[in-house]
Structure 1
Amino acid sequence: MSKTLYLTTPLYYVNAAPHIGHSYTNIAADCLARYHRLRGEEVFLLTGTDEHGQKIAQAAAAAGKHPQEFVDGVVPQFEGLWKTLNISYDDFIRTTQERHVTAVQAMLTTLHADGKLKRAVYQGWYCTPDETFWTEGELGREPGTAGTPACPSCQRPLEQTTEEGWYLELRAAQPWLKAFVSSHPAFVRPESRYNELRSLLEQPLPEYLCITRPRNRVPWGIEVPFSREHVVYVWIDALFNYITAPGYVSEPARFAGLWPADLHVIGKDILRHHALYWPILLKALGFPDEWMPTMIFAHGWWKVGEQKMSKSMGNIVDPTVVVGRVLADQPFAADVYRYFLLREVPFGQDGAFSESALFTRLHADLANDLGNLVNRTLSMLERYCAGQIPQPGPVGCAVEDEPLQRAAVQLPGRVEAAMARIEFSVALDAVMQVVSQANRYIEATAPWKLAKEEGHLSRLHTVLYVLAEVVRIIAILLEPFMPSVSLEIWRQFGYGDQPRRWRDASQWGLTDAGQQIGKPSILFPKNQQSPPAPSPQPRAS
């Protein structure tokens, strides 16, 4: 029995509503999950929410609510967005759920019993927004240097802190992790992030990682079972979800069918937690090298202009506003948004969001190219073939028919190669090249002229059958990227309940002659011009 492909997203911190960064990660993970399912593979996609920690307690206090009440009010915003964006997750885990809390406590008890944790006092610098400690060495400061340093991650001022807690050895595990990373070049992707990790491992790691916080400072967290005056550090709490959800503690047989994770999809700002702390934590639990996650892919940020998005700067892009207002006239607004994020920049690099760029993709790629191909083909089938797929005649001029047919049946291989490298934009570019080629084919063959000329009926039918087959293949290949658009094209061409299967995309001639097409409708209406991009709407932290 083959292992289920296990894909994860980070757990999203619920001190505020979701933004474009959250949606980008989940759309990418969903695209991969749908792609592998379309290929007939068993897939388990996990997402969820991170609901403990100091920032949650502060946000709840500001709202006049108990932390549990506060997170219960925010989590539905994430669940609602994933429904809007057609995120096909298999499990949604919350760190306040009993299944997670009890499993985390059990694993901490094991680490404590095995002597892997040490009680000690920490003196150093702490970032409250990131809930992260930094040593003088990590900050590049000599001990005793005057002044307050800034957090390397968020650039906010750090606080000098002294507190007691429970610690996990980091530096002692560094030789093992360094060797593991060197022998597993695909452990972190893209290559720039892999090189970043290797560079980090060339420097001495902090001796220990504090995995707890004092309850008198951080009252909202999972209680440490052997030290009730402490709660679990929120990042340790969150990382554990990758093994608590598949049942590491409670369901060993199920866990064996899922673990190790095949891919953790994350943002580049949390690479350290996933590529340093997480494997060392797993090693402390006794996981062998072959049980380490197979790959961590750290994608880039979306920016507004040249600025990284930040709640404090008030330049957050809200996906619900983009889908519900900016693209309000689009029947498949969520798929337009998905297409833009996956097509606009290579996955792994930073991208700049603007409404003008969004509308450029909508008009140029989707309306003028894909939508035009689908609509023209359906219109000609309705006009010249009484709304049915015609019986094709002999293949015509090789200059016209054969190149398009060859490009269409070779397209799945091109998309597969790109998806193996997690290059969404390359995959979509390949699809759109064939879409453009099909539109040029229409101009070259001129079906409207064939329909008027005596003795060209067989040639007309061949041209329209070729176009219908190309659109069938494109509809299948678009399913991971634009699931609703793919399904609508499938419906409009009359395939009904026939399954969309990846293997069928590389075969020619699977559309039955005489198949009745459905009722056509415009996929990407041009009801308005691209509006000027307004300033991003500020949102409270």
Structure 2
Amino acid sequence: MFLRLRSSIVNQMNYLTKVNAVSHNEKHYLTTPIFYVNAGPHIGHLYSAVLADCLCRYKRLRGFKSKFSTGTDEHGLKIQQAAADAGKDPLVFCTEVSESFKDLFKTFNISYTDYVRTTEERHLRAVSHFWKILFDKGFIYKGSYEGWYSIPDESFLTESQITSSHDKNGNPIKVSLESGHQVEWMKEENYMFRLSEFRISLIHWLQEHPRVIQPERFHHIVLRWLEEDLPDLSVSRQRSRLNWGIEVPGDPEQTIYVWLDALINYLTVAGYPEEHADWSGVTYHVVGKDILKFHAIYWPAFLIASGLPLPQAIYVHSHWTANGLKMSKSLGNVVNPHEKSQRFTVDGLRYFLLRQGVPDTDCDYYDDKIVKLLNSELADSLGGLLKPLHRLEAINQCVRLTNGFVQRHAPWKLNRNDEHDLRCVFGILLQPVIPVLADRLLDRLSVESSERTWDDLAFLRKYKGGYCPFEGRALGPDTGVLFCRLDRLEAMKTSMKKII
């Protein structure tokens, strides 16, 4: 199990950090997307947050000064409509949903340092200042625009981005190829960003930094998008149609486009426009594949136009399905993280998402799958580390857990201090993944809080002739079973009921 566990953690860390490829920097600014508050959080939102949290904890473990931001995106037509449907003031509606995201992140120990809302005054100032910079430089102009518009996606689409389909009544319609949402022809006067001028710059940026978008296949996807001409981007909406948003500076009849507004949150948290230089140059984004274009094309173009540094990396992850089907409210198969944490525990669900998530392809969630994984790797293997084993039993346990590692390092030569040392290493490595369980493991092993950093990692120090600080140290209080086995039969029954 340890080799599998270690391999999974290392793969996630390599995916997120590419440690060998990135020079060490004292500061590290990590972001999740800010989550749209037209509906409450689901497991996909949690996956983004847990990935980012794992990376942030890992960076702190290695001694980085890390800023970690998340938050909520609260402007736009969908929010305006959702609030109206709920019969609530838009700000009241946004506050309620935003609090549900905060509650989720608190439950799952997401260790963010800043939670930003796009309705905050500090964000309004940042957006207005950024807009004026782009406008003064001539990158924003007013013009008439017409084209296919997707209300759910809040974006205009080109002919190559749409296809013919039918609605539920069989009537012919046009839909977005990417999202599947219906589009309508729209013509209006608004402000445009000269996106077309940045196509070559974006291509050069990606070619000169082949690891800036990870995994690699998403890097290639963006390059393919850039093979086509980039039309200028509509960056405002008529206020008569969209009043829930930030007013265009100097033009009360226009509202700033929600995606330009939203992306600037990363600068808001960095301290823009007053003090941001320390953080804006060390930014790493974690995003879902559905918002790749906004982060890999629009956002870098905005930054180039404003003269600000580009992101160090954009880490992209895929989506979760449920029993092979796309999650949707209509199917009733949306996975509720709070509900699942009651059964599988917070750390259990964190571990499952990080262990089973594959960033470059969609992953399937079902209860029996999580039960088998957690029973095998947390209840049996990791939990077995704390059992009061006889020395020869401990050797056999190491053999079972570490496979090839065991063969290379001859565990039959280990003494009890080496065993203790090895378990401490497991606990330290697992802190970014399952912080609560890792703390319990380290507490039981009497590892002080000051001894839980990357610099404290050293395999088999006594065996190698070095000093083992745990020699002669008594175990900490017995906190019981580390992770209780789960009932697999119950999970299978639950899954069958949902399918039926």
Task: Report the TM-score, using the length of structure 2 for normalisation.
Answer: 0.85
Superposed counterparts of 1:260-409, under 5 Å = 260-287=281-308, 291-324=309-342, 326-327=343-344, 333-377=345-389
> 1:505 aligned to 2:473?
no
> 1:166 aligned to 2:178?
no
1:434 is aligned with what amino acid?
Answer: T
1:387 corresponds in structure 2 to none
* Cα deviations by residue, 1:401-451 (Å, 9 ceiling, x for unpaired): 9x96xx9xxxxxxxxxxxxxxxxxxxxxxxx9539978xx99x97xxxxxx
- Name the Cα RMSD after superposition: 2.8
Superposed displacement of residue 250, structure 1: 2.4
* Cα deviations by residue, 1:30-84 (Å, 9 ceiling, x for unpaired): 1011011011111111111101111111111111110000011111111111111
Superposed displacement of residue 350, structure 1: 1.4
SS in 1 for 2:426: helix
Superposed displacement of residue 313, structure 1: 4.1
Deviates more, 1:87-96 or 1:519-528: 519-528
2:226 is aligned with what amino acid?
Answer: L
Superposed counterparts of 1:494-533, under 5 Å = 494-507=446-459, 508=461, 509-526=468-485, 528-531=487-490, 532=492, 533=494
CA contact (8 A) 2:375 2:486 kept: no
Name the CA shift for 1:347/1:478 in 2 (closer, same or farther; >3 Å).
same
Q: Which runs of 5 or more residues in structure 1 are unaligned? A: 328-332, 382-395, 408-431, 446-458
Superposed displacement of residue 499, structure 1: 3.3
CA contact (8 A) 1:317 1:537 kept: no
* Cα deviations by residue, 1:101-142 (Å, 9 ceiling, x for unpaired): 11101111222222221111111111111111102243379x
> 1:175 aligned to 2:200?
yes
CA contact (8 A) 1:8 1:265 kept: yes
* Cα deviations by residue, 1:256-286 (Å, 9 ceiling, x for unpaired): 1112243110001111000010011111112
Output the CA distance in 1 between the equivalents of 2:106 and 2:32: 16
1:499 is aligned with what amino acid?
Answer: E
SS in 1 for 2:192: strand
Superposed counterparts of 1:179-190, under 5 Å = 179-190=204-215
CA contact (8 A) 1:317 1:536 kept: no
1:368 is aligned with what amino acid?
Answer: D
SS in 2 for 1:161: strand
Structure with bigger gyration radius: 1
CA contact (8 A) 1:170 1:280 kept: yes
Output the CA distance in 1 between the equivalents of 2:235 and 2:119: 18
CA contact (8 A) 1:366 1:524 kept: yes
Q: 2:225 aligns with which of 194, 200, 217?
A: 200
Q: Which runs of 5 or more residues in structure 2 are unaligned? A: 1-23, 165-170, 462-467
2:417 corresponds in structure 1 to 465
1:238 corresponds in structure 2 to 262
Output the CA distance in 2 between the equivalents of 1:6 and 1:317: 30
1:116 corresponds in structure 2 to 139
SS in 1 for 2:481: coil
CA contact (8 A) 1:375 1:520 kept: no
1:71 is aligned with what amino acid?
Answer: C
Superposed displacement of residue 225, structure 1: 1.2
1:271 is aligned with what amino acid?
Answer: L
Superposed displacement of residue 512, structure 1: 3.1
Superposed displacement of residue 535, structure 1: 7.3
Name the CA shift for 1:514/1:267 in 2 (closer, same or farther; >3 Å).
closer
Q: 2:280 aligns with which of 238, 242, 259?
A: 259
Q: 2:246 aligns with which of 222, 227, 231?
A: 222
Percent of aligned pairs sharing the same letter: 35
2:464 corresponds in structure 1 to none
Output the CA distance in 2 between the equivalents of 1:469 and 1:101: 52
CA contact (8 A) 1:109 1:226 kept: no
Output the CA distance in 1 between the equivalents of 2:28 and 2:337: 28
1:484 corresponds in structure 2 to 436
Output the CA distance in 2 between the equivalents of 1:236 and 1:314: 33
Superposed displacement of residue 464, structure 1: 3.1
Output the CA distance in 2 between the equivalents of 1:44 and 1:89: 8
* Cα deviations by residue, 1:487-508 (Å, 9 ceiling, x for unpaired): 0001112234443111211252
Q: 1:434 aligns with which of 402, 405, 414?
A: 402
Q: 1:15 aligns with which of 9, 20, 38?
A: 38
2:223 is aligned with what amino acid?
Answer: R
> 1:493 aligned to 2:461?
no
1:125 is aligned with what amino acid?
Answer: W
2:168 corresponds in structure 1 to none
Task: Report the TM-score, using the length of structure 1 for normalisation.
Answer: 0.79
Superposed counterparts of 1:2-81, under 5 Å = 3-81=26-104
CA contact (8 A) 2:284 2:311 kept: yes
CA contact (8 A) 1:475 1:489 kept: yes
CA contact (8 A) 2:318 2:358 kept: no
Name the CA shift for 1:66/1:435 in 2 (closer, same or farther; >3 Å).
farther
Output the CA distance in 2 between the equivalents of 1:79 and 1:265: 18
SS in 2 for 1:88: coil
Superposed displacement of residue 188, structure 1: 0.9
* Cα deviations by residue, 1:475-526 (Å, 9 ceiling, x for unpaired): 0010011111110001112234443111211252231314243224101112
2:340 is aligned with what amino acid?
Answer: V
Output the CA distance in 2 between the equivalents of 1:294 and 1:536: 46
Output the CA distance in 2 between the equivalents of 1:261 and 1:161: 39
In the alignment of these two chains, the number of paired residues is 458
Output the CA distance in 1 between the equivalents of 2:44 and 2:298: 22
> 1:105 aligned to 2:64?
no
SS in 1 for 2:277: helix
Output the CA distance in 2 between the equivalents of 1:152 and 1:76: 33
Name the CA shift for 1:173/1:496 in 2 (closer, same or farther; >3 Å).
closer
1:100 is aligned with what amino acid?
Answer: H
2:9 corresponds in structure 1 to none
> 1:136 aligned to 2:159?
yes
By percentage of residues, which structure has more strand? 2
2:114 corresponds in structure 1 to 91
Deviates more, 1:236-245 or 1:107-116: 107-116
Name the CA shift for 1:269/1:497 in 2 (closer, same or farther; >3 Å).
closer
Superposed displacement of residue 157, structure 1: 1.4
SS in 2 for 1:158: strand
